[in-house]
Structure 1
Amino acid sequence: MKPLHTTLLSLALAVSLAACATPQPTPTPVPTPVAEAIPSPMPSATPARPTAAPTAAPTAAPPTAIPEPRDPLFDPRRISYAYQFTGSEIQALLEQRGSALAPVRFQVGDRSQSFTDVLVGISSLYSISPQLLLALMELHSGAVSSGGSANLAWAMGYQGDNGGRRGLYSQLRWGARELRYAVRDYTLRNPADPPPPLVFADGSRQQVSADISFSRYVLARVLAPTTGPGGLGWYLDSLVNTYARLFGDPRDPPTDWPALAQPFLTRPMADLAPITSFFDHDAPFLRQNGSLETYWGRQETDASFAYDGHTGWDYAMGPPDKVFAAAAGSVIFAGNSDDGCATPARAVIIDHGNGYRTLYWHLARISVEAGQQVSAGDQVGVAGESGCANGAHLHFQAQYLGRDVDPYGWCGAAPDPWAQSAAGQVSVWLWADMPSPCGPPAPGVVVVDDGGPGFSSSGDWQLSDVGYGGGSRYAASSFPGSAAQPWRAAALAPPLLALWHPQLPAAGRYRVLAYIPYALNGLDESRELRYVIRHSGGESSVAVNSEDARNWWADLGTYDFTPDGALVLGGSLAGDLRRGVWIDAVAFVPVR
C-alpha cells in the first residue's frame, strides 16, 4: 500500500461519486474381435456439476442408490488411473515379483532415472494408468513376473517401424503414446463417424463401427499393431485376464476412488504472474482443432489465449522465479520427462492423496525428490524453458483421477464439453485462497458485484459479458497528473467512478479482494489501477498491476471495518493513460 496523494483527493472523489452516481442494472448471468465392430455400450460421461463453493475440506461422495453397471470389457476409468499406485507401490510390486524391471535405470538427459520413475512420469503425462501399461508388458513379455531380461527389448510386443522401437524405453514410450493417441482420436472425431481404422502388424487395416465403445477401441488400437486380424480377440481377452491376475478385474467399476474435492490449492508462485495460456475445455490433447474454449464457455481464437488444445495453464515466469507446491502431498516424480523435444523437460508431479495431482513443467531447476512429502508453499523448483517450451514459463496442470481438469472450474452457461467427453473429466474451482467467480461465496464472505446491491457508478462504462457473475465493465484509463511524472499531462475529462459499499454481518477484520477479468476489449491492461479503501483506521490507497492480476482477485489488503462503514472507491483514474480499467466484484473475506 502507499498513502493517497492527499486526503482531499479521496474526499473529492467520494463527494463526486455521491453526487453523480446512479444505480446500474444488474447484468444478466450469463471379447469379440474388434474387426466385427460389435458395439459395446458407450460409457456415460460424468455430468457437469456447478462450481463448488470455496471451502477448505474435501467433501465425501453422496451414497449411490444403484450400483454402477459392470463394463463388458474394461472400465474406461481404469484406462486413465490407478488409485494409490504410484512410485513406492510400483517398485514394491516389481521387487515382490522378482521382476527384471525393478533394477532397470534409464539415462534421460542429464539424469539417471529408475524404470519406476519413468513409468510414473510418462503415465501421468499421457493420462494412462501405470497398471494398464504394466499389464501390457506382462502380456507380451512376462516382464512384471519374470526375472529374465531376454524379452524386454520387445516388452510391448511392437516390432514395427522397421524395428526402430526396439528396447525397453522405446517400447514403454510407444505403448503410452499409442494409447494416448487412441484416446485423442476417439474423442476428437464426429460421433457419427468411426474413429481411425486399426492397423495390424502385417500392415493391413480394418475399419471399426462408429458406435464401438471407448475402452474396446483404445485397447484394440494398442494391441492391433502387435498381431494379425485373426488374433485380436485372443489378445483382448488375454489382456483382461492379465490385468485381473495382477490388479483385479478391470471390468468392475471403482468404488473407493475419491470424490471431487472442495477447493484446496494455492497459487504456485510468490507474486501474481501474467497468464499466457488457458486450459482448453474443448479438447485438451495438445492438438489443434480450430478453437480454444475457456472455462467461461467462450470459444476463443485470438493468440492472447494461446494455443488450441492446451492441457493446463501457462504463467509468464522464468529464472529466478520460484515455483511452489500448490498443496500438500507426495512428490511422485521429480526429474526429466522425454516429451519428444530436443531436450527433456524438467518436471515435478505431486499426488495430493485425494484423487488429484498437480504437474509443474519446463522447470529450470528441481528442488525436490521423488518420495518427498511437501506442504503447500514449499519450493519445488525454478521456472524455466526446458523441454518443448517456447520461451520461459511455468506450465501448471491439474488432474483428477488421472484426467486433465481445469483448476478454475467451469463457468459457462452450457454444459462443459470436456466433462461430457468419453475421455474427459469434471472441473471444479480448486483455489482455496480465492472465491470462485461463478459459484456462491463461502459462508461469511460478502461480495458486492458491479450492478448489484451496494454498487454504484458514474460515467459511461462499457459492459462486458465476462466477469464475476457473468459480467463486468471497463473504460480507458485517465491520468490525473503526478509530481513524480511532471512531463505527463493530466487528463482534462472527468473520471469515471465506481463505489462498492457492503453491508458486513459484523465488525471485524476483513481481507478485501477485487476481481480483474481476462477479456479482450481493445485496450492493454492498466499497470497502475487505483483503489481507495475506507476502513476504521482511515483511508488507504492501493495500486494494482492488472496485467498480472487479470483472471484473478487482486489483494487490496486487510483492514478493520464496522458493519456499515466499509467503502471501496475505484474508477478510471490510473497511473497510466488510455489503458484498460476493469470494474467488477469486490469481496470482503473475514479474517479469523
Structure 2
Amino acid sequence: MRSYITPTYIKYGFIAFMVAILTFTSCTRTVPASAPWSTTTPAAPVQPTASPAGAPESTATPAAPLPPAVTTPVVLTPDLPTAGNSFASPTPDAPHNLPEIRTEPVEYTVQAGDTMRKIAQDFDVTLEEIVIENGVHPGAIQVGQTLTIPVHPPSPSGPSFKIIPDSEAVYSPGSVNFDVGQFIADQNGYLAHYDEWVEDENLTGAQIVQRVAEEYSVNPRLLLAVLEYQSGWVTQPNPDASTLQYPVGLENARWKGLYYQLSWAADNLNRGYYLWRFSAENTWRLADETIIPVSPVINAGTAAVQEMFALVDGLADWEEAVSEDGVYATYNTLFGFPFGRSIEPLIPAGLTQPVLQLPFEVGEVWNFTGGPHIAWGDGSPWAALDFAPPGNQVGCVTSNAWVVAMADGPVVRAEWGEVIQDINTPEAPADGLEQTGWVVFYMHIETRDRVEPGTYLHAGDRIGHPSCEGGDTTGTHAHVARRYNGEWISADRDLPFVMDGWVSSGASAAYDGYLSKDGNTLEAYEGRNETSKIQR
C-alpha cells in the first residue's frame, strides 16, 4: 500500500484517479519521478556481509513506566554576542562537489504528462529559452516531439553567506530546551492569540508551530524566524492585513492558513537541506524564473533557507532574504547569534544503525510493498519503507495484525497516526526525546489499541494495528522511517535499514527497491505477490 505521507489536508490532483487495486499498499508519492537524492540508475540489491543477531522477541505490551537510564542531558550555552563582542560571518564550508552545470544543448523527446514548464524546470532553463530555440508555442508540444534544450547563459554563483547552522534547521538536540509556547507568549504578538482548526482540532498558534516542527523534523526556531521575517506574526500584535491568510508568503488557496503555510515552508526547507546534503542540486530557480548557480561553500541549513525563499521571491527579494539583513538578522533578533547554537556534526563519522528487527510478529507473513521513499511531505529524503499486513483485502480495511517495536526504547509521542520511539542503545541510552540520537517513526498506526506515550517497549512489543490513519493512503499498511539527531536517515544510501539482517537498497524511482539477506532478495511490490512476502 502506498501512503501519501503528507498530512491529511494535502491533496494532490493525481490522487483522484489512483485505483486501490493497482496501488494496493503504498505511501504518498509527491516527489518527482527521478528525485535527485535517489540513485540515478537502478541499484543492485545490497548483499549484507553478515546478519546481525535479532533483537529479543516478545509479544507482551508492558504497562511498566520508563525504567531508569543513565542519560546525558542536553544543556546548551550558546556563545551569544554581547556589547563589545561581535561575531564575524561564519567560516565558509569547504567547497562541496555539486553536479556539473550543463554546457551543451541536448535533444529531448516529449513524454506523456510533460509540459513545457516542467521540461524547462527539469533542464534548468527558462520556458522562454525553449520557446525561442524551438519556435513552438508552450501549449502546442506533443508526445514524441523532439525539442532542442538550449544552455542557460552562465551567471555568477549565488550568495555564499551562511545563514543558519544545520542544527538550527532540523529538529535537533539544540531544540530540546526551547519552550515554543512560552517563547510565543513572551512576544505577545499576533501568533500568541491565534488559533485555527486543523483537521478536527482547534489548535493555538504555538501548537501549530510545535506540530509542524515534529511532523517534518524542522527546528521550531527557524520556523518562527521565517514566519516573523515574512509577516511579523511573532512580535507584532497587528501585522499587515495582507499577511493574515498567507503569513509565509505563498499565495495559493490550497495553502491558506498558518498550518498549511508552515507545513509548506517546512517541506521546502527540508527539500533544500537534503538536496544539499546529497550534493544533488546545482541551481536555484526563483519565483521570477531567474536561475542562480548554488554557491559550493554554503552549508545544508543555509541551502534550506535559500531553496524555500527561491520558491516565493524574485531576484531582489530573494537576495535580501538570504543576506545578513534577511532571515539571519530576524533570527538574531529573536534568538541571538545562530551559529552560537551550532551542534556539529549532527551525523558523526562512522555512525552505525542499532540492531533493529522487522516491525511485525514472529510467524506472520507480511508483504514488502514500498522500497525507499519519502518519510514525510515531499521534501524529505527516501527514508521510509512500507509493509502490508496479512490478508487478501485491498484498500483501507481494518486489520487485527500488530505492528511491533523494532528495538527497545520509550514511546515519545503517539498521535495523528504516528508513533515515535526513542531507541535505547548502550552508546546512547534512551532519554525520552525525539530530537536526540536514534528514533524510529511508525506511521499509519490505528488509534484503536495504540500504545500510550511514555510506555517503555522492548523489541517485539505491540505498538498498534496498521491502518490508513495519518495521511492519504491507498491501503492499510505500516510505514517506518528513522531519524538521528533530527535528521531523516535515507534507506537507500550510506546507512540502509537493517532489520533482522534484511538490508534495504533503492532503485531509480521512489517505492522501488529491495530487501536482501544471505543471498536472498525481495523486490518491493505494490500489492500482494509471492515474491514480496516476508516473515520473521
Give the TM-score, by structure 2 length. 0.51
SS of corresponding position for 1:357:
strand
Distance in structure 1 (CA, Å) of the matches to 2:254 and 2:232: 21
SS across alignment from 1:391: coil
Contact 1:133 1:176 in 2 (8 A): yes
CA contact (8 A) 2:52 2:355 kept: no
Corresponding position: 1:208 with 2:313: no
Q: What residue is the counterpart of 2:475 in the other structure?
A: 391
1:270-301 Cα deviation digits (max 9, x unpaired): 444524245539x878879xxxxxxxxxxxxx
Which of 430, 433, 444 is 1:362 aligned to? 444
Q: By how many angstroms is 1:395 displaced?
A: 0.8
Structure 1 residue matching 2:179: 3-state secondary structure: helix
Q: Percent identity?
A: 18
1:250 maps onto 2:341 in alignment: no
Task: Name 2:484's counterpart in structure 1.
Answer: 400
SS at match of 1:169: helix
Which amino acid in 1 is paired with 2:384? G
**1:331 — aligned with what?**
412
Q: Secondary structure at the residue paired with 1:180?
A: helix
Question: Does the 8 Å contact 1:158/1:165 carry over to 2?
Answer: no
Contact 1:82–1:131 under 8 Å retained in 2? no
Q: Map of 1:223-234 to 2, 5 A cutoff?
A: 223-224=309-310, 227-234=313-320
Query: C-alpha distance in 2, partners of 1:189/1:261?
Result: 22
CA distance in 2, matches of 1:366, 1:230: 52
Cα distance in 1, alignment partners of residues 50 and 229 from structure 2:
42
The answer to whether residue 182 in structure 2 is matched with residue 92 in structure 1 is yes
Pick from 329, 345, 361 the counterpart of residue 241 of structure 1: 329
Q: 1:173 to 1:205 in 2, by over 3 A?
A: same
Q: 1:276 is aligned with what amino acid?
A: F
1:96-146 CA distance string (max 9 Å, x none): 443543564433333444444443443344343222111111222333344
Q: Does 1:347 align with 2:418?
A: yes
Matched to 2:440, the amino acid is T
Q: Which residue matches 1:65?
A: none
Distance 1:123 1:361 in 2: 16
Q: Which runs of 5+ in 1 are unaligned?
A: 1-49, 61-67, 289-308, 336-345, 410-416, 420-425, 439-464, 473-516, 527-545, 555-592
2:522 aligns with one of 508, 519, 533:
519
What one-letter code is carried by the residue in structure 2 that aligns with 1:373?
G
Q: Structure 2: how far apart are the matches of 1:248 and 1:279?
A: 42
Q: Is the 8 A contact 1:141 1:154 kept in 2?
A: no
**1:219 paired to 2:305:** yes
Does the alignment pair 1:180 with 2:281?
Answer: no
Distance 1:266 1:89 in 2: 34
- Equivalences, count: 346
1:316 aligns with 2:402: no
Deviation at 1:401, TM superposition (A): 2.4
Distance 2:356 2:70 in 1: 11
Q: Tell me, in whole angstroms, the C-alpha distance in 2 between the residues paired with 1:97 and 1:52.
A: 53
Alignment of 1:403-442 (within 5 A): 403-405=487-489, 418-419=493-494, 426=495, 429=498, 434=500, 436=501
**Change over 3 Å in CA distance of 1:173–1:150 after alignment to 2:** same
C-alpha separation between the residues in 2 aligned to 1:256 and 1:519?
35
Q: Report what 1:276 is aligned to.
A: 368
Q: What pairs up with 1:154-173 in 2 under 5 angstroms? A: 156-161=247-252, 165-173=255-263
Deviation at 1:250, TM superposition (A): 3.0
The residue that corresponds to 2:212 in the other structure is: 122
Q: Counterparts of 2:466 and 2:474 in 1: how far apart (Å)?
A: 13
The AA in structure 1 aligned to 2:387 is Y
Task: Tell me if the contact between 2:366 and 2:534 (Cα under 8 Å) persists in the aligned partners.
Answer: yes
- CA 1:311–1:286: 2 relative to 1, 3 Å: farther
The structure, 1 or 2, with the larger RCO (C-alpha pairs under 8 Å, 6+ apart) is 2
Q: Measure how far apart 1:384 and its partner are.
A: 0.7
Q: Which structure is higher in strand share?
A: 1
Write the distance in 2 (CA, Å) between the matches of 1:117 and 1:323: 28
CA distance in 1, matches of 2:410, 2:91: 33
Q: Which AA in structure 1 matches 2:184?
A: L
Q: Deviations over 1:158-192 (max 9, x none)?
A: 1534x66443223212312332344466578866x
Distance in 1 (CA, whole Å) between partners of 2:413 and 2:255 is 27
Higher-Rg structure is 1
Tell me the CA shift for residue 319 of structure 1.
Answer: 2.0
CA distance in 1, matches of 2:366, 2:480: 13
In the TM superposition, what whole-angstrom CA distance separates every residue of 1:320-340 from its partner, at most 9, and x where no partner exists? Answer: 2344454433534612xxxxx
Cα–Cα, structure 1 residues 276 and 211, in superposed 2: closer, same or farther, change >3 Å?
Answer: same
Q: Please give the per-residue CA displacement for 1:56-111, whole angstroms capped at 9, x wherever unaligned.
A: 99999xxxxxxx96755132343223326369832233234435435644333334
- The answer as to whether partners of 1:362 and 1:384 remain within 8 angstroms in 2 is yes
Instruction: Give runs of aligned pairs for residues 280-295 of structure 1, distance below 5 A.
Output: 280=372
Q: Give TM-score, length-normalised by structure 1.
A: 0.47
CA distance in 1, matches of 2:235, 2:496: 38
The whole-number CA distance in structure 2 between the counterparts of 1:437 and 1:205 is: 45
Once residues 304 and 346 of structure 2 are traced to their aligned partners in structure 1, the CA distance between those partners, rounded to angstroms, is 22
Alignment partners' CA distance in 2, 1:51 and 1:390: 35
- Of 373, 379, 388, the match for 2:454: 373
